[in-house]
Amino acid sequence: MLERKPRKDRTEVTFVLPAGTPPGPVSVVGDFNEWQPGVHTLTPRKDGNRAVTVELPGESAHSFRYLAAGDYWFNDESADALDGANSRLHT
Protein backbone atom coordinates (compact mmCIF):
# COMPACT_ATOMS: atom_id res chain seq x y z
CA MET A 1 0.00 0.00 0.00
CA LEU A 2 1.18 3.53 -0.74
CA GLU A 3 0.49 6.49 1.53
CA ARG A 4 1.17 9.97 0.14
CA LYS A 5 1.56 13.28 1.96
CA PRO A 6 1.97 16.27 -0.37
CA ARG A 7 4.32 18.96 0.90
CA LYS A 8 5.25 22.33 -0.59
CA ASP A 9 7.70 21.08 -3.24
CA ARG A 10 7.82 17.35 -2.57
CA THR A 11 5.71 14.33 -1.65
CA GLU A 12 6.39 11.96 1.23
CA VAL A 13 5.54 8.47 0.01
CA THR A 14 5.24 5.72 2.61
CA PHE A 15 5.53 2.17 1.32
CA VAL A 16 3.56 -0.19 3.58
CA LEU A 17 3.42 -4.00 3.73
CA PRO A 18 1.80 -6.39 6.21
CA ALA A 19 4.06 -7.85 8.90
CA GLY A 20 5.60 -11.13 7.82
CA THR A 21 4.22 -11.13 4.27
CA PRO A 22 6.62 -11.93 2.75
CA PRO A 23 8.79 -13.12 5.64
CA GLY A 24 12.17 -11.61 6.39
CA PRO A 25 13.59 -8.22 5.50
CA VAL A 26 12.08 -6.24 2.62
CA SER A 27 13.35 -3.09 0.95
CA VAL A 28 11.83 -0.84 -1.66
CA VAL A 29 14.13 -0.23 -4.60
CA GLY A 30 13.57 2.09 -7.51
CA ASP A 31 14.86 4.84 -9.71
CA PHE A 32 14.79 7.18 -6.67
CA ASN A 33 17.55 5.18 -4.93
CA GLU A 34 19.40 3.91 -8.01
CA TRP A 35 17.86 0.44 -7.53
CA GLN A 36 20.08 -0.20 -4.50
CA PRO A 37 18.68 -2.84 -2.10
CA GLY A 38 18.86 -2.02 1.58
CA VAL A 39 18.78 1.77 1.17
CA HIS A 40 15.07 1.93 2.08
CA THR A 41 14.32 -1.09 4.29
CA LEU A 42 10.82 -1.40 5.71
CA THR A 43 10.66 -1.38 9.51
CA PRO A 44 7.84 -2.36 11.92
CA ARG A 45 5.17 0.18 12.84
CA LYS A 46 2.97 0.22 15.93
CA ASP A 47 0.02 -1.10 13.90
CA GLY A 48 1.99 -4.26 13.03
CA ASN A 49 2.68 -3.36 9.41
CA ARG A 50 6.13 -2.59 8.02
CA ALA A 51 6.87 0.72 6.33
CA VAL A 52 9.47 3.16 5.04
CA THR A 53 8.96 6.77 3.94
CA VAL A 54 10.79 8.29 1.00
CA GLU A 55 10.73 11.98 0.01
CA LEU A 56 10.23 12.43 -3.73
CA PRO A 57 10.01 15.56 -5.89
CA GLY A 58 6.50 16.89 -6.43
CA GLU A 59 4.79 16.18 -9.75
CA SER A 60 7.10 13.35 -10.75
CA ALA A 61 6.81 9.67 -11.70
CA HIS A 62 8.93 6.79 -10.41
CA SER A 63 9.41 3.08 -11.07
CA PHE A 64 9.97 0.75 -8.11
CA ARG A 65 9.68 -2.81 -6.81
CA TYR A 66 10.06 -4.57 -3.48
CA LEU A 67 12.92 -6.96 -2.79
CA ALA A 68 12.49 -9.58 -0.07
CA ALA A 69 14.78 -12.26 1.31
CA GLY A 70 15.78 -14.97 -1.12
CA ASP A 71 16.00 -12.53 -4.05
CA TYR A 72 12.17 -12.38 -4.24
CA TRP A 73 11.09 -9.33 -6.28
CA PHE A 74 7.46 -8.21 -6.32
CA ASN A 75 5.23 -5.26 -7.19
CA ASP A 76 2.81 -3.16 -5.18
CA GLU A 77 -0.82 -3.88 -6.07
CA SER A 78 -1.78 -0.33 -5.05
CA ALA A 79 0.67 1.31 -7.47
CA ASP A 80 -0.68 3.79 -10.00
CA ALA A 81 0.42 1.67 -12.95
CA LEU A 82 2.88 -0.91 -14.18
CA ASP A 83 5.97 0.04 -16.17
CA GLY A 84 7.08 -3.22 -17.74
CA ALA A 85 8.01 -5.46 -14.80
CA ASN A 86 7.98 -2.54 -12.32
CA SER A 87 5.37 -0.71 -10.30
CA ARG A 88 4.89 2.96 -11.13
CA LEU A 89 3.83 5.82 -8.86
CA HIS A 90 3.03 9.48 -9.53
CA THR A 91 3.52 12.18 -6.91
Which domains does the chain possess? 2-90 (2.60.40.10)
Q: pTM for the complete prediction? A: 0.94
pLDDT digits (tens, 9 = 90+) for 16-70: 999 988 999 999 999 999 999 999 999 999 999 999 999 999 999 999 999 999 9
Q: Is the CB of residue 7 less than 8 Å from the CB of residue 19?
A: no
Give residue 90's pLDDT band: very low, low, confident or very high (50, 70, 90). very high
Q: What's the pLDDT score for residue 20?
A: 87
Question: Do 32 and 54 contact (CB within 8 A), yes or no?
Answer: yes
